[in-house]
Structure 1
Amino acid sequence: MNERQKTAVRQLGFGGLLDFDVASVPGTLAYWLLEHFDHLRCSLMLPNDVQLVVDTKDVELVFGFPNGGLKIDRCDINTGIKYLETIPLEEEVDINAMQTKKVKKHDWCGYLLNNMLRTRELWKNNRSKVFSGPIVFLVVCPSIIAVILSTI
């Protein structure tokens, strides 16, 4: 990405992603995480029956996504509706400034978590397909918590 694009990503509130340097996730680790993630309880079952509940605050802490109050409804991919087309503009203003302001008001943390739950359930029901959800979140989140617990 060039500097202008990076600035735009930061202005939208997703600058934390620019600091992640995860090129790939080991398949064995991804599979273990998916096997032990309970999409009904939104939790990861760790060894010794320790249950780690994951919520939107975890997403906010890990990725720094905007965690506004407006819920994002998943649009039907087949309709071709783009997310920004669903945001009503209140008045004639700078379109980029208005979109940036509105994007930050949405609950992107909840959106990522709901996407994780939905894709995990789909994967569980058909393991012959490749998992298409945000597996990096599961890789990073338990790692951070493990580091915190080891320092206590």
Structure 2
Amino acid sequence: MKTYHVDFFVNGEEYELDVPANKTALNIIRDMLDLTGAKEGCGAGECGACAMIVDGVLINGCLMLAPEMDGKHFETVEGFADEKGNLSPVQQSFIDHAALQCGYCTPGFIVSATALLRENPHPTREEITHYMSGNLCRCTGYKRIIEAIEDAAERMNGGAK
């Protein structure tokens, strides 16, 4: 199998690896870097379990081939807590609102919600619902997830709606 040399960043840390041409960014980050927050749900970009932010843009890690990682900056759920281990407002809101069940899809929802709130700090409920439509959960209704995102937006904006 042909390999490619790639130099990229994940959560601010630089990596240089030789990666197989047939692997995805998700495979490399999970299997080679042992950052297991992003999950493979569908392998086809339909469920959002593998969500990550690449150069400021929300992507599905299962759709990016490993050789495409070269020069890119990745953010995964593992990188959202601060250096002291304090959770991000989105992470804390998901806990406070019990916006999870089994937790398999939760990292993808948190990454997607973070991307949304960076793009739109004051989303309406309809905008949240639309933006999060790329994330699927089999265990729970979406009510608590939407409430958690609304709460995170308020926390990030100093309580302003």
Q: Max radius of gyration: which structure?
A: 1
Q: Which structure shows the bigger proportion of residues in helix conformation?
A: 1
Higher relative contact order (CA 8 A, sep 6+): 1
Q: Which structure shows the bigger proportion of residues in strand conformation?
A: 2
